[in-house]
Structure 1
């Protein structure tokens, strides 16, 4: 009985010692969780020992326990889950905006953009780290050089700054007796340059005057008329086709140069404003009377006409006499046709 109880106690002690020597290996980490510093300093993980975890840099705890326990030489399952940190939108700065193509979570980048007329100072991209956004960009207004002075003129208005900023306007005017040529004002652009060159002031007497208009008028009259003659007597009978009379009248071009009246700079013409050319063509039928002898017809033509008329009358008379004789003979021939002795017709 004594020996039996002794053996039982020894067996229990042996089991306890054996189970006490069952250790777990060093915990392995993966994903976005890591061992805490205390767990990293431990070399042995005996039965019942605990190991603690935490979210990796840039991640935050979402849910689950950070601890695992060594049981019979094995670790329990880690139930800790972590998610990326959200940096959110960067702090607002004047005239500065951001473009978020990758979002605002840990590791994402954002592009900094300045408003028109402002230039970026600092990095053009910011990255979301575990401690927040990197870098601090800012936007500075664009400035132009000091406004240039002009001869025989002054600057009447300009911004308060020594170097005009974007959008600043500089006004100019000329001294008495001088006229402003060019723009009265210049403006500072977004690229740091003025939108135009400064104006010039010139003496009015030195500005060449040119005609404002040149008017050219040309009139050409070319009538062509064929007039039939007026027949009053035999002497007016034309023997040849009537004449074709062509009358051409040309009016020389009239050019007028009108000097302008100068009242202000807008009245000073730099180039001729217009050249007008007017051409008018008019056909005027002339009144022409054509008659015979009494209106200047040559005597040779009149005599020829008279001779020809006499010949025509003589021929007509001869033909008429011949026809009368023939008709008379025929009449007597038919009258005697019924006689016994017929005459030879």
Structure 2
């Protein structure tokens, strides 16, 4: 009987002791904190046991303790706070800039942009990860094709590279006896093309002459009117004939040609001067012919006389008799 009472008392004490030291449940994580690997491997959390936390990937500790303690079956409050990692600006690369529309914190993306005349190699976007910015873009200068050769001419100046780079200029000149048609230089653009076609070298004798002067001659002649034989009627002009002649002549220009070593000379213009003299002679002949025609027209109008005025012959005879009396 004595032994039974003793075992009962011990059992009651054990129940009270076990009830006062209850275990805590597994800690729960929230926000940007997580349990450490050691805490994840634990299966039970008895009275007084500690659990440790750390910031999630891409976050850094800002303040507070990483530990909590199990007390009477409950965990203490976690004081740890974390903030996003800041990747900062990427390392500077020649001819490359970035646009930071989302900032530089963890998870943000930055756009890579090359300067004019340069081409982007690699991804155009970089993202801020826990270990830093992703990717390594770079900018490569744009190049044009090998500069074309021209007939009867040479390249006098070009960049040192086999393929001209953006902004590179190629200079041309023509051989002696040829003149340059077009731009004497071409430039490599940002799109990898030249800004114009290469020039041409033409034989000076094959270049057509273009009009450079116009001679205009205007002649106005007044034909005298028919004169009536009446003393009290004043003389008035009755007809005017105006003739305008415009002649366009081609005066050959002086042609300049580029020779070796970029020398410049003048083409012989003796033949052109002779042609101008012939044209002036023809113009003079035309003016003389016009004067003769106008003179004949004048006498023609004078002979017609009274017919143009519509006079009656019988009335004219009466008028003569009256004057004689």
* TM-score, length basis structure 2: 0.66
- Contact map agreement 1:33 1:54 (CA 8 A) in 2: yes
- Mark the CA change 1:337 to 1:291 in structure 2 (over 3 Å): closer, same or farther: farther
- Contact map agreement 1:55 1:82 (CA 8 A) in 2: yes
Q: Which region of structure 1 is more displaced relative to structure 2, 186-195 or 287-296?
A: 287-296
Please, which runs of 5 or more residues in structure 2 have no aligned partner? 307-325
Moved over 3 A (4+): 1-13, 227-246, 276-339
Q: Which region of structure 1 is more displaced relative to structure 2, 99-108 or 301-310?
A: 301-310
Q: CA deviation at 1:106?
A: 0.5
Q: CA deviation at 1:218?
A: 1.0
Specify the alignment match of 2:61 in structure 1.
61
RMSD: 24.5
- Contact map agreement 2:22 2:73 (CA 8 A) in 1: yes
Q: Does 1:315 align with 2:304?
A: no
- Mark the CA change 1:318 to 1:212 in structure 2 (over 3 Å): closer, same or farther: closer
- Mark the CA change 1:23 to 1:277 in structure 2 (over 3 Å): closer, same or farther: farther
- Mark the CA change 1:220 to 1:293 in structure 2 (over 3 Å): closer, same or farther: farther
**Radius of gyration: which is bigger?**
1
Number of residue pairs the alignment of both structures matches: 306
Q: 1:304 aligns with which of 268, 271, 275?
A: 271
- Mark the CA change 1:291 to 1:329 in structure 2 (over 3 Å): closer, same or farther: farther
Structure 2 Cα separation of the partners of residues 293 and 135 of structure 1: 54
Q: CA deviation at 1:14?
A: 2.5
Q: Which region of structure 1 is more displaced relative to structure 2, 324-333 or 70-79?
A: 324-333
Partner SS state of residue 110, structure 1: strand
- Mark the CA change 1:319 to 1:22 in structure 2 (over 3 Å): closer, same or farther: closer
Q: CA deviation at 1:146?
A: 0.3
Q: CA deviation at 1:209?
A: 1.5
Structure 2 Cα separation of the partners of residues 205 and 313 of structure 1: 25
- Mark the CA change 1:294 to 1:233 in structure 2 (over 3 Å): closer, same or farther: farther
Q: CA deviation at 1:217?
A: 1.5
Q: Does 1:287 align with 2:254?
A: yes
- Contact map agreement 2:179 2:204 (CA 8 A) in 1: yes
Q: CA deviation at 1:284?
A: 34
- Contact map agreement 1:237 1:292 (CA 8 A) in 2: no
- Contact map agreement 1:141 1:166 (CA 8 A) in 2: yes
- Contact map agreement 2:26 2:44 (CA 8 A) in 1: yes
- Contact map agreement 2:24 2:74 (CA 8 A) in 1: yes
Equivalent residue runs for 1:201-216 within 5 Å? 201-216=201-216
- Contact map agreement 2:21 2:47 (CA 8 A) in 1: yes
Q: Which region of structure 1 is more displaced relative to structure 2, 233-242 or 82-91?
A: 233-242
Structure 2 Cα separation of the partners of residues 282 and 96 of structure 1: 62
Q: Does 1:277 align with 2:273?
A: no
- Contact map agreement 1:20 1:47 (CA 8 A) in 2: no
- Contact map agreement 2:122 2:138 (CA 8 A) in 1: yes
- Contact map agreement 2:32 2:59 (CA 8 A) in 1: yes
Cα deviations by residue, 1:225-258 (Å, 9 ceiling, x for unpaired)? xx99999999999999999999xxxxxxxxxxxx
Q: Which region of structure 1 is more displaced relative to structure 2, 15-24 or 54-63?
A: 15-24
Structure 2 Cα separation of the partners of residues 316 and 173 of structure 1: 42
- Mark the CA change 1:148 to 1:240 in structure 2 (over 3 Å): closer, same or farther: closer
- Contact map agreement 2:170 2:185 (CA 8 A) in 1: yes
Partner SS state of residue 282, structure 1: coil
- Contact map agreement 2:90 2:133 (CA 8 A) in 1: yes
- Contact map agreement 1:47 1:73 (CA 8 A) in 2: yes
- Contact map agreement 2:24 2:45 (CA 8 A) in 1: yes
- Mark the CA change 1:239 to 1:303 in structure 2 (over 3 Å): closer, same or farther: farther
- Contact map agreement 2:210 2:253 (CA 8 A) in 1: no
Q: CA deviation at 1:221?
A: 3.3
* TM-score, length basis structure 1: 0.63
- Contact map agreement 2:179 2:203 (CA 8 A) in 1: yes
- Mark the CA change 1:104 to 1:333 in structure 2 (over 3 Å): closer, same or farther: closer
Structure 2 Cα separation of the partners of residues 86 and 301 of structure 1: 78
Partner SS state of residue 126, structure 1: strand
Structure 1 Cα separation of the partners of residues 94 and 253 of structure 2: 90
Structure 1 Cα separation of the partners of residues 305 and 205 of structure 2: 128
